[in-house]
Structure 1
């Protein structure tokens, strides 16, 4: 049982994003990423806008709602034979409450239902790295700024 399953807890839900949500999602992303990007000396709101707009696909984007209020968003992209967790952001004031773990459980359920591996990339100095490792992601390789992870498909763990 999570804190969100407890009687009287504010309900968590995922809701479909639309084209009109871009600016609100960008603001949330900037707030959530600010500290990690500052650590790397790479906080640049314009670059963040360009990156999000280049890959913005409302059909694969979900708002994370706590008691009906947006506290984050998640983007899960289907590829030919795997899923990519492209974005998972929780507003700073909502972090540390288990919301990310609840969302990750939904994402992992989707990957497991499809029996597909799940890929994610995180900034090298981001606290998100521990989060992804706790949820079964294995480091595959590094690039200049990022760590690239894979969570194998169900059944791949036991492959001989």
Structure 2
């Protein structure tokens, strides 16, 4: 695992990347969505389209060219950033890549003295990941769980 992390980078997203990113999102989310009976390809397209804000999106890249995931971290109000998307392709989960991305996101939040908010799907493996990284459950709405990582509690 540790030899993989130095080979990772973040690269900018282009508006022409939408279809590839949609396929990656579906690959990453389908098992969790099927567990709660909510998988719908059209809805996946709508959700990504609504949050497709190129200036705040990054491809997660291995060895300079292999896109293994993507992340969106965008401002939300004066005091927070929204981690809107953090998806890894099947086969690249559990290798420390998500932790590498989370370290980057929390560093961005510390620099800006902002919290990080996110929403995760109930029954998703991602919930354990977010709790391990200092996020606190703040609410629940349908199949969505709302979390917040507080910069002030992490000595920002």
TM-score by length of 2: 0.93
Change (3 A) 1:60 1:106: same
What do you get for the CA RMSD once the two structures are aligned? 1.5
Q: Which runs of 4+ in 1 moved over 2 A?
A: 155-158
Tell me by how many angstroms 1:126 deviates: 0.3
Residue of structure 1 equivalent to 2:9: 13
Residue of structure 2 equivalent to 1:65: 61
Larger radius of gyration: 1
> Is residue 43 of structure 1 aligned with residue 42 of structure 2?
no
Change (3 A) 1:104 1:4: farther
Tell me by how many angstroms 1:66 deviates: 1.0
Contact preservation (8 Å) 1:120, 1:148: yes
Residue of structure 1 equivalent to 2:2: 3
> Is residue 136 of structure 1 aligned with residue 141 of structure 2?
no
Structure 1: runs of 5+ lacking an equivalent: none
State how far apart, in whole Å, the 2-side matches of 1:67 and 1:50 are: 31
> Is residue 77 of structure 1 aligned with residue 78 of structure 2?
no
Tell me by how many angstroms 1:4 deviates: 3.9
SS in 2 for 1:93: coil
Deviations 1:116-143 (A, max 9, x none): 0110100011000000000000000111
What count of residue pairs does the alignment treat as equivalent?
Answer: 153
Structure 2: runs of 5+ lacking an equivalent: none
Residue of structure 1 equivalent to 2:29: 33
